Amino acid sequence: MRIRLLILGALLAAACFPAAAQQSLSEAKDGTFYLYGTIGRTLEVELTLIKKGKQLEGSYVYANHRQPITLKGAIIKPYEYELEETDPLGAATGHFLLSELSGGPGAPIGTWEGGERKKKLTVVLTEIQPAQHQLLQKIWDSKPPVTSVVAGFDHACAMRSVGALCWGTVPLMPGIAIGGPEMTAYRALPNLLIDETVTAFASGYHRLCIVQSSSLRCWQPYDPQLPLREPTVIPGFERGVTTVGASQTHVCAVVSGALRCWNGSSLSPESITEIIPAGVTGLSSGDPQCAIMSGGGLKCWAMEYQLEEKRSKLVVQDVVELKGEIRSLSATGEEAQHFACGVDSEGLKCWGNNFAGVLGKRPGNAVRNLPPAAIPGLETGVSFVATNLDHSCAIKEGKVYCWGGLNSVGQLGDGATKFVEGIVEVKGVENATQVAVGPRHSCALTADSHVWCWGGNEFGETGNASHDVCVEPQRTGDPIRTPCNLHPVQVRGLD
């Protein structure tokens, strides 16, 4: 089953919570517990622990080395645990010291040390449920090709026919700590909230929404206005949901041909806005601000400030300049800064507002409501496009080209951190089939099912170690030194 994956909009780092509040292991009843996460940021592991009073025993396995390693230990005081790993002869080969005081209930953070205590690595774990344990085994046992890749505010995800894998700072994802400096994934990890019954999902701000049994179900467990701690069916989206996307403020979905958006404030009809009543067949990637119509037309919408009325108002417009089949469509923006790009039968065209230069250089001084026009150098041969407020990228004859923004952390992929006017070719990526962009990073999927990312890596956005340091000057104070990858790196954990 092909899962359509849309992870969009601005995300807050503080929103990385598990789907529901967990109970501390030290307070739980005796039984079997599964803990999933990483050792040393890049070693994916699962621990199986049997609790008997204060005693703990069990084993753990690496994702790429499925031979169980024996564990034995104890609860040394509330919320803190010690575990020794041993080899088949009983010799100590490693030592875990874990604490839920830092990670929160069900999410211990700690360290692993080698048997001789000469090597120390950070450990980040999250308790997962038995059904998620079974899903993890299925994902580990099957590695079908990656079918799509998307980028969020400070993360990215890859879709496969069995589940989705994400890296960076991902909201509501088991395997990532709740708080502190280790709340990121520096490699692709399975999102165990997304199983094979989910046909689409989207995350934005602090919520995760899935399409399951043709209905829209959302979590937002720490929303102060409407805390949804379990996947909840959203009224108005009970059936007929086919496509979903999320922006900073809304989740939008196609429901039996209508386009509706939910603002997350309540479960009442007042929280839903119907943008287009019928005839919608698809949404743009990025922020869902454009819709493909059944008759081949294209409609886009945005909040525009009305001078006469002195207020912002939702405006829906027909984009008549795109002709024939729309092969790729991406939109992004918030309030006054919004724009879109599409690939039709004639080629790539971009339109909207041009405050960051993402629409390319246009004649005159106008920057608002620019009509669809080609990006110089990409007039023909483009097969895919992805947009973001900072920069955009497109695929032309298997190569990736990017443009716009300041390029301060190498998000254009040209190996530098200097502003570039016009398009640049991303060196080192060949035979690309899809591309995705976040505010400060970019990723591309290639025909051999590899994913390559480049740009800012402060939060693990490139799915690999940081090979460079980008120095960003400030108007006042010392420059900021940011981990980055100026050249594309292959995302770990997808092979």
pLDDT of residue 100: 92
Residue 264 backbone zone (phi > 0: left; psi -120 to 50: alpha; other: beta): left
Q: Looking at residue 156, what is its pLDDT?
A: 94
Contact between 427 and 419 under an 8 Å Cβ cutoff? The reply is no
Can you tell me the distance from the alpha carbon of 314 to that of 211, in angstroms, rounded to the nearest whole number? 26
Residue 36 near residue 46, CB atoms below 8 Å: yes
Annotated domain spans of the chain: 19-132
Q: Which CATH superfamily is domain 19-132 in?
A: Quinohemoprotein amine dehydrogenase alpha subunit, domain 2 (2.40.128.120)
Residue type at position 489: V
Which residue, among 76, 113, 73, 110, has the nearest Cα to 93 in the 3D structure? 113
How far is it, in rounded angstroms, from Cα 351 to Cα 302?
Answer: 13
Residue 165: the pLDDT is: 94
3-state helix, strand, coil in the chain (%, to 5): 5, 50, 45
Beta strands in 410-449 (DSSP E): 424-425, 432-437, 441-446
Number of residues assigned to the chain: 495
- pTM summary value: 0.89
Indicate the residue type of 382.
Answer: V
pLDDT, block means (10 residues), the chain with 495 residues: 35 34 84 95 95 97 94 96 94 94 86 90 94 94 89 90 89 78 86 89 84 94 90 96 89 96 95 95 89 91 76 85 92 78 93 75 72 92 94 97 94 94 94 96 97 96 96 85 97 92
Residue 350's identity, in one-letter code, is C
CA diameter of the chain: 82
DSSP 100-139: HHHH-TT--EEEEEETTS--EEEEEEEEE-HHHHHHHHHH
**Cα–Cα distance between 203 and 164 in angstroms, integer?**
13
Helix/strand number for the chain, H first, E second:
2, 39
3-class SS of residue 14: helix
Question: In 267-398, at which residue ranges do the beta strands (DSSP E only) sit?
Answer: 272-276, 280-283, 285-286, 290-293, 298-306, 311-318, 328-334, 337-344, 347-352, 370-373, 382-387, 392-396
Strand partners, 483: 469
